[in-house]
A = this chain, B = another copy of it.
Amino acid sequence: MRQRVDGRKVRGERRRTEIIEATLRVIERDGVAGVTHRTVAREAGVPTTSTTYHFASLDDLLIATLISCARDMATEVYWMIDRARSRGSRGAEEVANLLAEALGPRRGRTMAEYELYLLAARRPELRPAARRWLDVLTSMVRHDDEVAFRVFLAGIDGLLIQGLIDDEPPTAEELRPVVDYLLKPR
């Protein structure tokens, strides 16, 4: 008996999230350009019309994917910072490792995130979601050195973007001195 209505609703939500996850995989593989109702449906293993049933349009699907992706990124970054802090280190090594990971094994995911990022540049309604991971980071640091923190965030973004057009991803060792310099206080 226990909440059959919820059970049904949960099932519906599950489909939705499966489609969103499939969309993200498609973007990782082929980019936003590769996202169609049919490719997403095939990736998710659902009939084509299922994507149009759960999302009013392809645009809504992309928007939902960006929001989900940004939320994942934000929580991930949150725990990364938290872990680095609990170790008591200044975090330079941790940051270098994470950058190397984002440009190596997780390269597709990183590309997807920046493609959705640029999508937000053209659609104002997506910007709050795209800014979320920046906001999470901003909320975690003291505000007495705002300029230095903005420079740090910009540096991270720049290193990631530039790392994406390297022929082979930089290693954590190569990244380390750059991150060190970036974190060094003036």
Q: Report A's interface with B, CB cutoff 8 A.
A: 31-33, 111, 114-115, 117-118, 120-122, 124, 127, 130-131, 134, 147-148, 150-151, 153-159, 161-162, 164-167, 177-178, 181-182, 184, 186
Contact = CB atoms under 8 A, between A and B. Distances in A.
B164 A157 contact: no
Nearest to A159: B154
Given A157-B162, A158-B156, A182 B120 contact: no
Contacts of A156: 154, 158
Copies of this polypeptide in the complex: 2
A37 to B, nearest CB: 15
A124 B186 contact: no
A71 to B, nearest CB: 16
A56 B134 CA distance: 42
B162 A161 contact: no
Given A118-B118, A121-B111, A161 B165 contact: no
Nearest to A154: B158
A180 to B, nearest CB: 8
Contacts of A131: 165
A180 B181 CA distance: 16
A119 to B, nearest CB: 8
A151 B159 CA distance: 8
Contacts of A184: 186
B162 A134 contact: yes
A112 to B, nearest CB: 10
Given A118-B164, A134-B162, A181-B186, 7 more contacts: A111-B121, A115-B118, A147-B177, A151-B178, A153-B162, A155-B158, A157-B158
